[in-house]
Structure 1
Amino acid sequence: MRHRRGARVLLLDDEGRLLLARGHDTDQPERSWWFTVGGGIEPGESDRDAAVREVLEETGLRLDPADLQGPVWTRSAIFDFYRERCRQDEVFYLARITGTQAAVPLTREGWTEIEHDVVDEMRWWTLPELRQVTIEVFPASLPDLLEPLLDGWDGQTRHLGEATE
């Protein structure tokens, strides 16, 4: 099984909306799901630097590592993707964009070829909207996990456990 480490970002705008991507696997184009911004940590790269890089590549938004709070969560997930069984150990950071930064349009300029193949859209979600989503959302129970963070992070990193997706 392929193993990698990942850094993900709970990116909130000044209205408290969360940015998620919707994607699918090429082997199962009929199945899609929503997930947080982020991806693999490169060799020699810190978790924070990977999170900032992934936000820039996937959205065009520039963050400073100091903009990140956390990690607020950790988890391990086993999933099939791109015809491969993977285990990813993830850290999740919280970041808020405000003012002019929140007005910057999202871009796909930094997307990899695989991301162009499997990422269908990006969208900002309010918590009530997110609770109404009918397809899978990762991590599981994201609205309930996110709600306590909307007013600020308490400084504790919570482990979400292991998931098979």
Structure 2
Amino acid sequence: MSLPVGPYARHTARVLLVNKEDRLLLFKFGSRRRDFVWLTPGGGIDEGETLNAAAARELHEETGLMVAPEELGNLVAAAGGHADLGWVKGILREDYFFHRVDSLDIDMSGFTDYERESIAEHRWWSVADLEATDENIAPWGLAPLLASILRDGPPQNLVELPWHH
């Protein structure tokens, strides 16, 4: 498996946000056009923005959590490939950071109108929950990645996850 190289039709910065109970935050996202999928907090990178800055901004917009970009550290995983989402078509790439919080009351007041219409709920998932569900969760390979990070800490090298489109 090899990650595609840019330029990307869409490049996103995402965060594996884990609480003190070792549960991962996911948002249930969908629209009239697509089935629901559970996604980590994150989103598109604005022009001139670094990956860390984009991830920190998205984390604040979607959860209310303020994190300095440098607190996110290094990337832990990435996935990418071709997709046609209707509103974007081409090579997409998603980069993932790992961050822990003791607890967090999710504040979705920073959602865009599109996010308010598209995100049905949020939930904190254990590794066992991720392994047992038949719901669509992206990225693929999330359960073993999270189990590895919780057991051994963030990986030294970027983990390439299977493309989920």
Equivalenced residue count is 157
**Normalized against structure 1, the TM-score is what?**
0.87
Distance 1:81 1:118 in 2: 14
Which residue in 1 is equivalent to 2:122?
122
Query: Which region of structure 1 is more displaced relative to structure 2, 118-127 or 73-82?
Result: 73-82
**1:125-151 Cα distance to aligned partner (Å, 9 max, x none):** 111111121111101121012110113
| Secondary structure at 2:77 match in 1 | strand
Which residue in 2 is equivalent to 1:18?
24
Q: 8 Å contact 1:67–1:96 — kept in the other structure? A: no
* 2:94 is the alignment partner of 1:94: no
Which residue in 2 is equivalent to 1:154?
155
Q: 8 Å contact 2:140–2:164 — kept in the other structure? A: no
Identity, % of aligned pairs? 31
Q: Which amino acid is the alignment partner of residue 121 of structure 1?
A: E
* 2:62 is the alignment partner of 1:58: yes
Q: Which amino acid is the alignment partner of residue 111 of structure 1?
A: F
The answer for unaligned runs of 5 or more in structure 2 is 1-7
Residue 86 of structure 1 and its aligned partner are, at CA, apart by 4.7
Give the CA RMSD over aligned residues: 1.7
**Normalized against structure 2, the TM-score is what?**
0.87
**1:96-136 Cα distance to aligned partner (Å, 9 max, x none):** 012xxx1x411111101111111111111111111121111
- Higher normalized strand content (fraction of residues): 1
Distance 1:113 1:18, change over 3 A: same
Distance 1:4 1:83, change over 3 A: closer
The answer for unaligned runs of 5 or more in structure 1 is none
* 2:83 is the alignment partner of 1:79: yes
